[in-house]
Structure 1
Amino acid sequence: MSKTTFRKTLSANDVGSTGGHQGGVLIPKAETELLEFLPPLDPGVKNPNAWLNCVDENLVPQRFKFRYYNNKLHDDGGTRNEYRVTYMTAWLRSVGAKEGDTFEISGKQGGREYFVRVIPATINDIRSDESVRIKLRGWNRVH
């Protein structure tokens, strides 16, 4: 089996620097390849979830939760219909993740353990004499 890797540029919400409450890193439903890489979740169950057993670049075990918030499908007046990886905030803070850094998750297709790391943004990405525009890039598969 070959290794599969996905990356996401972290937003201010992802790293908790906005002061708002966000329930984890969003995985858009259109990211079908990434959703197939992660454990299957049954949409017939309200808010199904699965633990992701991960190892970070320091070989420290981490546990994140992959969750499908789907009360829109199950409750009158429900509004949520989205996938998220939660239980990440403490780890992101411990590794010093900042807005603009990249979160990476990799593993073998169908495997039960994932490797995670944060790749710092390079200093060349931001010039002090220019205004900064954040481009939301979402998830990308690394080939």
Structure 2
Amino acid sequence: MTKSIFRKTLSANDVGSTGGHQGGVLIPKSETELLAFLPPLDAGIKNPNTWLDCIDENSVLQRFKFRYYNNKLHDEGGTRNEYRVTYMTAWLRNVGAKEGDIFEISGTQGEQEYYVKVIPAAVNEVQSDVPVRIKLRGWNRVH
């Protein structure tokens, strides 16, 4: 099977530097390739979620939660209908992630283990010749 790599430029909200409360890194529903890469979540269940076992650059297991907040589909007056990866804040702080840095998640389709890292913005600028197949809204799929 083919390895897939997805990258997102981290916002101030993603890394917690705004002081606001955010429920994890957003994955828009339009990011169909990325959503297909992650484990399926049953929209028939209110707010389904699953753990993502992710190995970081130091070969340490990180457990993030992949969630589909979908109370709009289940509750009268519900407003949320979005995918997010949560439980990342402590890890992002520990690796010194800052606004403008790149979060990368990779793995092989169908496997339940993922690989994650943060690429500092300065390094990303040097590697700007990395080919990007599709420029997604906030996310990039890299080959």
2:129 aligns to what?
A: none
- Mark the CA change 1:59 to 1:46 in structure 2 (over 3 Å): closer, same or farther: same
> Unaligned regions of 5+ residues in structure 2, if any?
126-136
Equivalent residue runs for 1:26-105 within 5 Å: 26-105=26-105
Question: TM-score with structure 2 length normalisation?
Answer: 0.90
Backbone CA RMSD of aligned residues: 1.5
What is the number of equivalent residue pairs in this alignment?
A: 133
Greater radius of gyration (CA): 1
The answer for the alignment partner of 1:134 in structure 2 is none
Report the CA distance between 1:46 and its aligned residue.
Answer: 0.1
- Runs of 4+ aligned structure 1 residues displaced above 4 Å come to none
Residue number in structure 2 paired with 1:131:
none
Q: Distance in 2 between matches of 1:109 and 1:61?
A: 19
Partner of 2:16: 16
Partner of residue 114, structure 2 = 114
Report the Cα distance in structure 1 between the residues aligned to 2:10 and 2:124, rounded to whole angstroms.
17
**% identical aligned pairs:** 83
TM (norm. structure 1) is 0.90
Q: CA deviation at 1:63?
A: 0.2
